Structure 1
Amino acid sequence: MALDPILQQMLNQMPIPASEKLDIAAYRAAAEAFRPMMVGPEGPIAVASIEDRTLSGPRGDIAIRIYRPSGAVEGTLHHYYGGGWSVGNIDIIDPIARRLARDLSMVVVTSNYRLAPENPFPAGLDDCLVAARWTLDHAGELGGGDQPVVVSGESAGANLAAVVGLVLRDERPGRSFDAQLLVHPAVDLRDTSFQRASVLADADPSLRSHSLRQLYPLYSAGHDHADPRLSPLAADDLSGLPPAVIAVLTVDPLRDEAVEYADRLRAADVPVELIEFGNLTHGFTGLTVVVPAADRAFTRTLAGLRHMLARKSATTARS
């Protein structure tokens, strides 16, 4: 299937890197420069309030930001940004967090985490776990004690969200997140992942397969990629995890491993809704202001989460 024509026109106008060698400094600068496009000419989405707090982490302070929606609150969502574990911060994803708060009527908590290569695994994960535990412990004051609590992320952030779900399942049986929202997640960093058809196709101009080959070792820094804290798909047991909404893209190199993860979750009796978009590229949630198809896809993805939460609530009420 061809890419959305508006998206394709944007991609045609983007400069092609002279080298395949990944330049993290340039990658970070490009992410910062992209921020105005994520906001759009109408300005930021309005929310009831935004509050910055600081948590004590294993190697220093962790910044978190709390977005409260207008109107009745229907839960809490804790969201991790993507960027190959090497790029990003809560400022860059401010437009996405506002959209999540508005469309889901949830209190949204975003959190910074230490980035590779300066701070490789498990530094970023450790920070995410601190923020996740805090969010769960404060769910009553955030989105209401009887309301659902969701963990979510995109790309590398979805990897972290999936791993947080695994860790807290064992750490807090029955008291972890009620659902997980994983947008084009990286769930398998093992070398065998490069043999999947979606990686070999190398069809996504926004995320080339050679970038994955460089980002994974920067993050893992020699750690065994079969560790489920790096590759949740490598976990022996996926039972008892939160119900999952997983959004994938046909051209994305991460597509096949995410589909396999969805299949394994279902095999472990974890409810899953898998949503696939054939006309978009990696990072589509940052393009909703300028690409209507990306806006519709984000809306569809969030509708999937609302449907999943409603199913879970109905099941709980009957039990």
Structure 2
Amino acid sequence: MDSVPEGVPTLPSLMDVWDATRMRLLVELDRGSTLSMAAKTVGISQPSASEHLRLLSTAAGEPVAERNGRSLTLTPGGRILARVASQALSNLSAGESALAARAGLRTGTLDIGASSVPGTYILPHVVSDFVQRCPDVTVRLSVGPSDAVIDWLLDGRITLAITCSEITTPGLRVETVGPDEIVGICSPGILDISSSGHVGRDQLVGQTLLVQERGSSTRVQAIDLHGAGSGWKSVWELGSVDAVKRAARERTGVGFVSIHSIAEERRRGELVEFRVDGVNWGRRDVRAVALHGVVTAPADHYFKVLLTDAIGGPAAAPSVPG
């Protein structure tokens, strides 16, 4: 192995300069923050942030950020490092929460992302239960389309994703926490629903199909039915589950939504549910998704226990681990 001549300084490696401040700086820039905003979030001055980026570029052997007009953006190499930094910070956070478990979950952070159905109709009361049981754990919940939630997880913005979608993205650990079902909905009297709760495909001919926003797993399944020759009069693309339910209540068409999302409307008699003869795609699962190989923080684990209890079975709620 060639040795470095005496008196010639050696360049630092990434391992030499990798610390939490620089990791957080890269993550903030990757999220679209300006240099001044990223520096403020991390808690350093803008000149100091510039020096950190210069040192990272030297260690990486290529620029990690570049000027684009008046703004500063990460280079492809910088984005690679930002992704690694997000995962490293997630592991550090999990380690802190693991130590917090020794104090009975009296400290720590729970960062959850959820797709629209679980995020709107299942998680709120579970989060409320968690906060009551673990009042000193900081909880952050973000709700968005299924594909966006998985992106947040991969970017390290959340540590736990709750979704009803099929997950095929590599590098993720998927657990089933409870059942879900896609059902048809309409205003009472629109369709002739059998005593078993079914309708034939012929009853859908000439109806307006109400579907959700792009990125929704429910939308994909509804469009599949549309493509199977059901003869819809038209297809309305709406912005949310609530918009689909509202349009169905106004007798403008029929939609397909999670059974978890219509509990109140069923109770009040505003909507009725149905299944379509010969269509078997209604059954699905609520899934908890995390990065593969990342230690599960106690807060994440305990939240999954409460969620499973809420939608998966009649077992008594567990006590707070101590």
Normalising by structure 1, report the TM-score: 0.24
Larger radius of gyration: 2
Q: Is the strand fraction higher in 1 or 2? A: 2
Higher relative contact order (CA 8 A, sep 6+): 2
